[in-house]
Amino acid sequence: MSDYLGYFEQNQGELLAFLTRMVEHESPTHDKAAVDRYGLFLSAAFGALGAEVETIPQERYGDHYRLTFDPPGGASEPEQLTVLCHLDTVCAIGELARRPIRVEGERMYGPGIYDMKGGTALVLFALRALREAGLSPRRRVVVLLTGEEEIGSPTSRALIEEEARKSAVVLCVEPPVAPGGNLKTARKGVGRFTMTIAGRASHAGAAHAEGINAITELAHQTLALAALTDYDLGTTVNVGLVRGGTRANVVPAEAHAEIDLRVATVAEGERVVPAILALAPVVPGATVRVTGGLNRPPMERTPAIGELFERARTLGATFGYEVSEAATGGGSDGQFAAALGIPTLDGLGINGDGAHADHEHILTDTLAPRGALIAALLHTL
């Protein structure tokens, strides 16, 4: 086995310099031009390693890129290995000026550095490590760079599923579980719903009885939604945003709510989603309309995912790195692949903390073993 760890230790300075350039390309999801500039920069770096670069243009969000690496002598396995990365971040243009890149000990701070520019940098340098060592993966490697993961991947899901169906294995370099760096072998499914309630407006003093209070109906529905939460099953239903009414002296005719659902299993999704969509009014005369559904399916820890994790743990042990696993409630593109039955390993990015927060950072002393693990997986799977 090649000295992957040594390669990353020797090239850590260069990797961090390149990662700095990545972070300097601010790429908020809703700024297509910014995401496209970053995508061109990053896809060119993969292209310099020999990738066949295909741009998949988008109208509203950033373009996607399919980067294909074919082993020089041809793949020895028919199915490919797909790596999932996303270009976009939640950080607005100007965030870098507010909290510039800085290094404090082993912590390197910067917007988007942990979620997920650091993980993408590891993939780039892992492929470079294999190339410089004269090593070829057993499979065709396809790296996807997508432009709108942070809002649920509305335009890239079909592309991800298309490539996943061709794959023996899918790797996702989202951040690991903080702070320990656990790989993610299970994720909760994520649902989003909008509730719209219609009542009837009237004067709150002179004609209160003639009104139908939409906010009162919303209160009943909020309690009904909360009752669907089951911590033992890993199910949570959260009414996170409500609005309604016009003035204190008017019986409100309308009310609205935004709802978040998390489920650990497909079976729970099949139980809870219909229950939310079937909610009926309590206040006489009110109407309730609910739209939405699961945006990301659950990633359950199947035996195949368990075997893939054990493979990663064994590879890590060859260079003294202990690999652990955990389940998480957050969502990622890896769930689309796992839902198709493809063995998927998530959370392969650099250790750190603070995704979507001011203290977002990576731990640079974990860069070498995390990069070595990705290189070993790309080479041997």
- Strand order of the sheet with strand 287-296? 236-244, 254-263, 189-198, 287-296
337 within 8 A of 84, measured Cβ to Cβ: yes
Which residues belong to the active site?
Answer: 88, 149
Q: Are strands 141-146 and 80-86 parallel, antiparallel or unpaired?
A: parallel
Gap between the Cα atoms of 182 and 324, Å rounded: 5
294 within 8 A of 189, measured Cβ to Cβ: yes
- Return the axis-axis angle of helices 12-24 and 32-47, rounded to nearest 10°: 150
Contacts (Cβ under 8 Å, ≥6 apart) of 13:
none
Gap between the Cα atoms of 213 and 285, Å rounded: 9
Query: In DSSP terms, which residues pair with 255 in a beta bridge?
Result: 197, 244
The DSSP 8-state label assigned to residue 70 in this structure reads -
Gap between the Cα atoms of 52 and 72, Å rounded: 13
